[in-house]
Amino acid sequence: MTDFERKVYEAVKLIPEGFVATYGQIAELAGYPRAARAVGNALHRNPDEEHVFCHRVVNSNGDLAKSFGFGGRDEQRRRLIAEGVYVVNYKVDLSEYGINLNDFLK
DNA sequence: GTTGGGGCCGTCA
DNA sequence: CTGACGGCCCCAA
């Protein structure tokens, strides 16, 4: 496992229940502001879905990933709903559930 | 709403 | 080293 991946997973763990973050935000939290793409790559190889909430990560449009790593979008959607996140056609309202980076950058 | 192009980054073959 | 390949992003038509 690389440092990059570790940081990404750590960042993902910071997302509070009932909220979601974009790949770009995760990239920033991880310390790689422009590595949104690499983030997706890392998440695909998610080591343990139990502790890393990859289902709380969506793209800048609020859409769920097409090729979710386990169980597909349906599983991702199921988990979000279970947390109280309203999901419509594999899409979430970022202005409602999106996180604010400033709340994580102390 | 839709494409399409350019740029970005880390991994792996 | 080089070149592909993504759970991406942004802006311009």
Which protein residue lies nearest to nucleotide C8, measured between its Cα and the C1' atom? A37
CA atom of A62 to C1′ atom of C8, Å: 12
Nearest nt (C1') from A5 Cα:
B10
**pLDDT above 80 (res A106):** no
Which CA distances in Å does A64 have to A3, A7, A49? 26, 22, 16
Is the predicted pLDDT of residue A47 greater than 80, yes or no? no
Active-site residue flag, A54: yes
Cβ–Cβ < 8 Å for A73, A64 = yes
Q: Considering the entire predicted model, what is its pTM?
A: 0.94
**A61-92 per-position pLDDT tens digit:** 999 988 887 888 999 999 999 999 999 999 99
pLDDT in the model for residue A15: 95
| Neighbour count for residue A59 (Cβ, 10 Å) | 16
Q: What is the pLDDT of residue A49?
A: 81
State the pLDDT at residue A19. Answer: 96
